[in-house]
């Protein structure tokens, strides 16, 4: 097996703490730009994104609904791009998340939203992208060039920029230094995760699961494995899983829980116990739940609040997907059939 498999993806994951440092340096400038938005007039928020950025949007949705307390939904861009709907978005904030900022359906939706009265905020990794230029305010991800097809540092950057944005809006302070420190510690788990990935049997199926802030990481873990290992993976809210999908679980199923430090165990306890009755092949990303000795721990922040721990723990799911792909002979840098920029119409 080539030792070069995944070298770009691994190097980009390793850059994430430095990306976070750049965002910390720019946080005051971001706060100044955010302060110019008419946020006091906003009654609801609509998020628009695709792929990995759609998963980051789930995290932002939880932040807005818990920290600000107003409705926040996910857009269906085809409402504009296919059906040509005229939007009526008075007192609405539209937030677009995209690594490239190139997808025509996202750009078209944001233009229609502005025409309909919305304020548009974009988070992209390219300040000159069509999406950035179509917005009222742009927050640059500062991730630098991302060459691996599977997005890693841009996803983690979207999480942190989302955290900075909502903290600025709500007047909350966040400990960026601790988030950076814990992201560095996540990188120290690479050798341990590599060994776990090499012994991981995915032939009987994988399910990823989280709740609350970690719901985004559960979806992103599934997406990263699908992109790089080329196998189907199911992802669920741990609450939704009991409403039917659990019937597909069997003794050889593999379940990966995303449970950051600080999560209330009661939020997941019923699902975890039901799953333990069916399969013993349980893996954990995050230190927020009591594990049995037979269950395998990939790592997780042990000091950050739940909303912040999700950001640092995002590196762990990326490392697991990376090493799982390499151990199966796949090249996660350039999976067959995928392109770095997908322009959805």
pLDDT digits (tens, 9 = 90+) for 251-269: 999 999 999 999 988 889 9
- What are the structure tokens assigned to 47, written together? 């998020």
Is pTM beyond 0.85? Reply is yes
* CB hemisphere CA count around 148 (13 angstroms): 27
234, β-bridge pairs:
207
pLDDT in tens, 19-35: 999 999 999 999 999 99
pLDDT-based confidence at residue 149 (cuts at 50, 70, 90): confident
Q: What angle do CA 92, 116, 344 make, to 5 degrees?
A: 90
pLDDT-based confidence at residue 345 (cuts at 50, 70, 90): low
pLDDT computed for residue 2 by the predictor: 43
* CB hemisphere CA count around 259 (13 angstroms): 23
Q: How far is CA 162 from the centre of its chain?
A: 11
pLDDT in tens, 203-232: 999 999 999 999 999 999 999 999 999 999
List strands edge to edge, sheet with 206-210.
Answer: 234-237, 206-210, 254-258, 282-285, 296-299
Q: Which domains does the chain have, with CATH numbers?
A: 7-174 (3.40.50.10490), 179-327 (3.40.50.10490)
Q: What is the mean pLDDT of residues 82-89?
A: 94
The answer to whether residues 78 and 47 touch, using CB atoms and an 8 Å cutoff, is no
pLDDT computed for residue 1 by the predictor: 37
- Averaged pLDDT of the chain: 94
């Amino acid at each position: 097996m080539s030792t070069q498999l995944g070298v770009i993806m691994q190097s980009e994951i390793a850059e994430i703490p430095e990306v976070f440092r750049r965002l910390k340096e720019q946080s005051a400038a971001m706060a100044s730009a955010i302060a110019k938005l008419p946020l006091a007039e906003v009654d609801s928020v609509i998020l628009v994104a695709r792929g990995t950025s759609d998963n980051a949007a789930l995290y932002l949705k939880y932040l807005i609904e818990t920290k600000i307390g107003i409705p926040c939904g996910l857009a269906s861009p085809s409402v504009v791009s296919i059906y040509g709907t005229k939007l009526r978005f008075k007192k609405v904030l539209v937030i677009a998340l995209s690594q490239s900022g190139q997808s025509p359906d996202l750009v078209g939706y944001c233009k229609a939203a502005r025409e309909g009265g919305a304020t548009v905020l974009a988070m992209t990794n390219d300040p000159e992208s069509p999406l950035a230029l179509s917005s009222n305010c742009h927050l640059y991800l500062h991730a630098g060039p991302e060459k691996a097809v599977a997005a890693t540092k841009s996803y983690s950057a979207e999480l942190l920029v989302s955290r900075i944005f909502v903290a600025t809006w709500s007047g909350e302070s966040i400990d960026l230094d601790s988030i950076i420190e814990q992201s560095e510690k996540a990188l120290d788990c690479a050798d341990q995760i590599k060994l776990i990935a090499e012994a991981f049997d995915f032939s009987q199926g994988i399910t990823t699961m989280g709740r609350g802030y970690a719901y985004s990481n559960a979806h992103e873990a599934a997406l990263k494995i699908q992109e790089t290992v080329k196998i189907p993976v199911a992802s669920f809210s741990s609450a939704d899983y009991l409403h039917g999908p659990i019937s597909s679980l069997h003794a050889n199923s593999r379940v990966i829980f995303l449970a950051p430090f600080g999560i209330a165990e009661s939020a997941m306890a019923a699902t975890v116990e039901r799953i333990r009755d069916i399969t013993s092949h349980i893996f954990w990303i995050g230190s927020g739940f009591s594990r049995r000795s037979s269950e395998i721990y990939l790592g997780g922040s042990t000091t950050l609040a739940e909303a912040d721990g999700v950001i640092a723990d995002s590196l762990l799911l990326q490392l697991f997907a990376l090493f799982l792909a390499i151990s199966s002979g796949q090249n996660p840098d350039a999976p067959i059939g995928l392109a770095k920029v997908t322009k959805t119409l």
